[in-house]
Amino acid sequence: MRKALLLVSLMLTMVFAGFAQERSISGVIKDASGEALPGVTVVVKGTTQGTVTNIDGKYRLMVTGDNPTLQYRLIGYKTQEVIVGSQSEITIALEEDVEQLDEVVVTALGVERDERSLGYSVQNVSGEEMSEVKSANMVDGLGGKIAGVQVSSSGAMGGSSRIVIRGVNSVSGNNQPLFVVDGVPIDNSNFTSSNQSRGAGGYDYGNAAQDINPDDIETMSVLKGASAAALYGSRAANGVVMITTKSGKGAKSNKIGVSVNAGVSFESVLKLPDYQNGYGGGGGGAFPGGTDANGIPYAAYAVDESWGPALDGTLARQWYSFDEWHPDYGKGTPWVAHPNNVKDFFDTGVTSNIGVSLTGNTEKSSFRLSYTNYDIKGVFPNSEMQRDNFSLNATQKLTDKLKVNVGANYVGSKALGRPGTGYDGNNVMQQFNQWGQRQWDDAQMKQYKNPDGSQRTWNRKSASDPAPKYSDNPYWVRNENYQDDDRNRFYGNVGLNYQFNGGFSASAKVMTDYYTDYRRERIAVGSQAISEYSEDVRSVQETNYEAMLRYDKTFTNELSLNAFVGGNIRTNKYRRNYQGTSNGLSVPNLYTTSNSNGPVQTVDSGTDKQVNSVFGSASLGYRNTFFVDASLRADQSSTLPANNNTYLYPAVSGSVVFTELGSLADSKVISFGKVRLGWAQVGNDTDPYSVNQTYSADSRGAFNGNPIYYVPNTLNNSNIKPEQTTSLELGLDMRFFNDRLGFDATIYKNVSTDQIIDVPTSGSTGYTRQIINAGEMLNQGVELSINATPILTESGFRWDLGFNYAKNYNELVKLADGLDNLRLANAPFAVSVNATEGQSYGQIRGTGYQRNDNGDLLVGAGGTYLPTDELVNLGSSLADWTGGLSNTFTYKGISLRVLLDMRFGGKLFSTTNMWGNYSGIMAETVANNIREDGIIVPGVKEDGTTNDVVIDANTHFYANGGYIIAEANMYDASYVKLKELALTYRIPSNITKKIGAYGASFSVTGRNLWILHSNVPHIDPEFANNSGNVQGIEGGAVPTTKSWGFNLKLDF
């Protein structure tokens, strides 16, 4: 906290430093014909201070310094610079630059292309926008910003963020996009346990792409369709996120630039349930019976429900009154509510970050060297995380034609006390929201140990036995049953580029991504669960060797050709070593596997994979108006059968910039228009060792320490082939009024076939399951992005608006012969997640309400709803549509950006609501005097008459809101959130120059601030168990957090 307060103090000191006199420069910017040019960027060179011209081409800018230089920039025109001198009015005419690219974007394999020439959809997010409102997980920065890209977060410290582009393509394979940083493919694995993925407990260790430092990002390009990503072949089915990091190319010549970025943010829980505070622990609305010698009733401390007596202040013998050392030993204390008991459990989280970068640029070389530190104190007690990022990006001309590029990144991270997730005793939310007593006092809980070191908890077994019956003390959980982990990662590349005469160039590079992940988990002796300790070490490495020959030539003013051919060799290595205790620990507080009461459980496994590829692409342009692209990649994979291991991935696309044709070229309304069409086939490769049968080791039946080897129950497939996705997309890009208004619309259709599925098989084969190619998945939809500048005034006020919308229809058209439903995972209770033929992916199945022909709910003789006899589909977790709305207001040196993230449709099953109502914790269980008066549930009896049977609250929530009818706990997962807010002040140069800085800004930021709309009670509807396929099951959600922060940037 002291470190955070120091950072805040330093920032505020900079912002509120004294102001000096500035002078005003104004003028008009025109084109060669004398027409006014709106939207021209005018900046003081070497600073971040600037403005834009209004619709009449006018501008006004405050400048300081002895002799500043103004720089005038507009796409399609040559940049001009003017030394201000003594001038107060500067009017110039910009010269059209016919060779200037409208917008350069990074496409597959790191090839830079002119945006107007592309026949497929690529959307960019700037590094400034990614890092302005910081998140420990870089993936969160994409939420709500790009049409067709959906991001969901688990809410846990350092937890997963799941990203899906244009829907789910694979039934059981990977549905995450490929991440590429400066050409280096980056692993984004999660390595979650099966229990954690289905909401049944465990820790969320996060997706590996969170190691990427957002402060190092220059631009991020999202290749959404198969046409855009086809050159990645068998790993392109889910799209590609291309990240280009900052370099020293833009630095001042022959000078070392220094940038400092410091920030601090404060986190608190965004949403907690609405608890009832009228009744305490127990059952039947009364104390369980029995009193002490003074006639004071004993509380039902061994019960984990809140159906007990009213919290009316009556004296009662509560759980702590049996601790002989406690001041209230043998005494009765008031039976009262503590409404903030859960809220008080959480801390104020603090995240501080500081980054320093050095840049240099000469005629022959450039570099950027950076270091960033993140220090996180979580909202859960005893939770913290640290991460250090080092990066180097350098280029050097060895000769006039030969250049070497080096990129190197090291990430060291460690965490302690990640929150437990899902339905598990190590997730304290289970006893807060699902099974607990509402009268417990947080202050009494904090001393979680007795003098002898044993646990003390509200849920003790008996007066004489303080051991937990069902629930550990939440502070014991956080301080004794914790985990810790660390990860060390290196990724980078070394490349050579040689420029021949005549438009030819050749390049060769080596790229690698390697990390080790070390995880330790413990349960202490004296816990409700059996004590244990485990160590789990994984190492992951991918290395790529790539060579490419390029040809880039403009033959005439009308014809251009960009082509390349190349090859790639990719190797993947994965190793895992796991050791865990069994039958408890022999010695308390000694956490080593040698302290195991039983045999040590071990796993020692690994996989190797190699893919050899050749590829080529040709892009032909005519009159800078008509463009045609064609590419082909061939992948030969070691995971496929030797006689059938090579597959081709073709792509064809084209675009027409129709505003270059006829009278449209001179239109004053339409400033740009392009239609595009693309077709491609891409793949989704299989895992190693899916072809031939192999043995597996099991240490649980070890003999003299040697594991038993056995044949797995799944039959591999010697004829397996990769999944294939065929994609067709059509797009229209339009801009109006000199780009004041524009939209980009896309319709697409993706058909994924040859799904790799693990299906049940006849026991006569000797196996219970087998791997097959079968099935067909359909995704088709529409995407729309709108950008507008509704207001642009002469005084410098500007309002920029952005809106994106995406609707995707998903259907599992065909599963497999003789199989119409494949269960993907069981929830802890009541439901399962399924792939069902003819339905959207991720169908949640469970018992539903019985209904008559009119749709009325049927009520049984006992006054409770009747469940269906069979399991029914209750809905898919997939959203109907997603979107985002951003507004940016700029006035001189101040800007305000507001981002809304929205999702509509999709279903989720809430275990928190199910057990929270069942156990009497939630506010619904006291609403409308239900405990006093009972309830008549709306519906009809089986004879058709209106239900008139009164049932008590306990029965209602046991039967109607509990686990008997799963449909009662299904909710619409729609939400609208205030996702990001940033208020930035660019500090005038007359202040920053006092400390030698040429640019500075101060920002107040917020993330995940407000749920504006939700249909789910008690929990945040935006959650992800992890980054895997099993979604829509809330087993015990960790509360998401909101954060407010401050950030200061200085450039020297």
Q: Is the model's pLDDT at 156 over the cut of 60?
A: yes
Q: Is the model's pLDDT at 16 over the cut of 90?
A: no
Q: Is the model's pLDDT at 10 over the cut of 70?
A: no
Alpha carbons 585 and 593: distance in angstroms, whole number: 9
The H or E element that residue 5 is part of is: helix 2-15
Beta strands in 474-558 (DSSP E): 483-499, 504-523, 532-554
Residue 530 DSSP symbol: P
* Across 198-222, average pLDDT: 91
pLDDT for 666 equals 83
Q: Is the model's pLDDT at 7 over the cut of 60?
A: no
CATH 2.60.40.1120: which residues of the chain? 2-93
Which residues does residue 199 pair with via DSSP β-bridges, in sequence order? none
Alpha carbons 758 and 351: distance in angstroms, whole number: 43
Q: Which of 216-230, 240-254, 510-524 has the lowest mean pLDDT?
A: 240-254
pLDDT for 15 equals 41
pLDDT for 46 equals 63
* Across 455-462, average pLDDT: 95
Please give the span between the terminal C-alpha atoms of the chain, in angstroms, as a whole number.
28
Alpha carbons 477 and 482: distance in angstroms, whole number: 7
Alpha carbons 936 and 430: distance in angstroms, whole number: 30
- Contact (Cβ atoms closer than 8 angstroms) between residue 822 and residue 834: yes
Q: Are strands 769-792 and 714-715 parallel, antiparallel or unpaired?
A: parallel
CA-based torsion, 44, 45, 48, 50: positive or negative: positive
Of 475, 494, 188, nearest to 341 by C-alpha is 475
Q: Is the model's pLDDT at 451 over the cut of 60?
A: yes
Would you give the distance in Å from CA 249 to the centre of its chain? 31
At residue 263, the 3 state secondary structure works out as: strand
pLDDT for 812 equals 96
Model confidence band, residue 962 (pLDDT cutoffs 50, 70, 90): low
Q: Amino acid identity of 186? A: I
- Given phi > 0 = left and psi -120 to 50 = alpha, else beta, which region is 18? beta
Q: Is the model's pLDDT at 110 over the cut of 60?
A: yes
| Helix segments in 674-758, DSSP class H | none
Q: Is the model's pLDDT at 539 over the cut of 80?
A: yes
pLDDT for 677 equals 96
* pLDDT tens column, 609-656: 999 999 999 999 998 899 999 999 999 999 989 888 999 999 999 999
Which residues does residue 291 pair with via DSSP β-bridges, in sequence order? 297
- Contact (Cβ atoms closer than 8 angstroms) between residue 315 and residue 309: no
Model confidence band, residue 994 (pLDDT cutoffs 50, 70, 90): confident
Q: Which of 162-176, 370-384, 505-519, 699-713 has the lowest mean pLDDT?
A: 699-713
pLDDT for 237 equals 87
Class assignment of domain 2-93?
mainly beta
> What is the DSSP secondary-structure string of 441-496?
-HHHHS--B-TTS-B--TTBSSSS--SBSS---HHHHHHHS-EEEEEEEEEEEEEE
The H or E element that residue 562 is part of is: strand 559-580
Would you give the distance in Å from CA 611 to the centre of its chain? 28
Model confidence band, residue 47 (pLDDT cutoffs 50, 70, 90): low
Give whichever of 133-142, 227-236, 968-977, 1025-1034 has the largest mean pLDDT.
968-977
* Across 499-506, average pLDDT: 90
User: What's the length of the chain?
Assistant: 1052
- Contact (Cβ atoms closer than 8 angstroms) between residue 120 and residue 861: no
Q: What is the pTM of this model?
A: 0.88
Angle subtended at Cα 648 by Cα 646 and Cα 650, rounded to the nearest 5 degrees:
170
pLDDT for 250 equals 72
More confident residue, 992 or 896: 896
pLDDT for 48 equals 58
Residue 887's alpha-carbon distances to 377, 803, 980, in angstroms, are 31, 9, 11
pLDDT for 67 equals 74
pLDDT for 703 equals 62
Neighbour count for residue 231 (Cβ, 10 Å): 26
At residue 175, the 3 state secondary structure works out as: coil
- Contact (Cβ atoms closer than 8 angstroms) between residue 507 and residue 493: no
Of 46, 97, 44, 92, nearest to 74 by C-alpha is 97
> Mapped to the 3 state alphabet, what secondary structure does 329-346 carry?
CCCCEECCCCCCHHHHHC
pLDDT for 75 equals 61
Mean pLDDT, the chain, integer: 90
Q: Is the model's pLDDT at 786 over the cut of 80?
A: yes
Tokens of 1044: 């407010």
pLDDT for 943 equals 93
Neighbour count for residue 830 (Cβ, 10 Å): 25
* Across 8-16, average pLDDT: 45
Model confidence band, residue 17 (pLDDT cutoffs 50, 70, 90): very low
Angle subtended at Cα 422 by Cα 419 and Cα 427, rounded to the nearest 5 degrees:
40
Alpha carbons 136 and 157: distance in angstroms, whole number: 9
Alpha carbons 949 and 265: distance in angstroms, whole number: 54
pLDDT for 780 equals 97
Residue 581, phi then psi, degrees to nearest 5: -75, 165
Model confidence band, residue 151 (pLDDT cutoffs 50, 70, 90): very high
Q: Is the model's pLDDT at 979 over the cut of 60?
A: yes
CATH 2.40.170.20: which residues of the chain? 132-152+176-268+351-420+480-504+525-698+723-842+877-906+975-1051
CA-based torsion, 819, 821, 826, 830: positive or negative: negative
Alpha carbons 340 and 326: distance in angstroms, whole number: 23
Candidates 1.10.1500.10, 2.60.120.10, 2.40.170.20, 3.40.50.720; CATH matching 132-152+176-268+351-420+480-504+525-698+723-842+877-906+975-1051: 2.40.170.20
Residue 319 DSSP symbol: G
Place of tokens 């350092």: 158
At residue 730, the 3 state secondary structure works out as: strand
More confident residue, 14 or 60: 60
Model confidence band, residue 763 (pLDDT cutoffs 50, 70, 90): confident
Q: Is the model's pLDDT at 19 over the cut of 80?
A: no
pLDDT for 12 equals 44
Give whichever of 6-15, 107-116, 496-505, 780-789 has the largest mean pLDDT.
780-789
Alpha carbons 437 and 282: distance in angstroms, whole number: 8
Tokens of 924: 């619904």
Alpha carbons 675 and 655: distance in angstroms, whole number: 6
Q: Amino acid identity of 65? A: G
Q: Is the model's pLDDT at 408 over the cut of 90?
A: yes
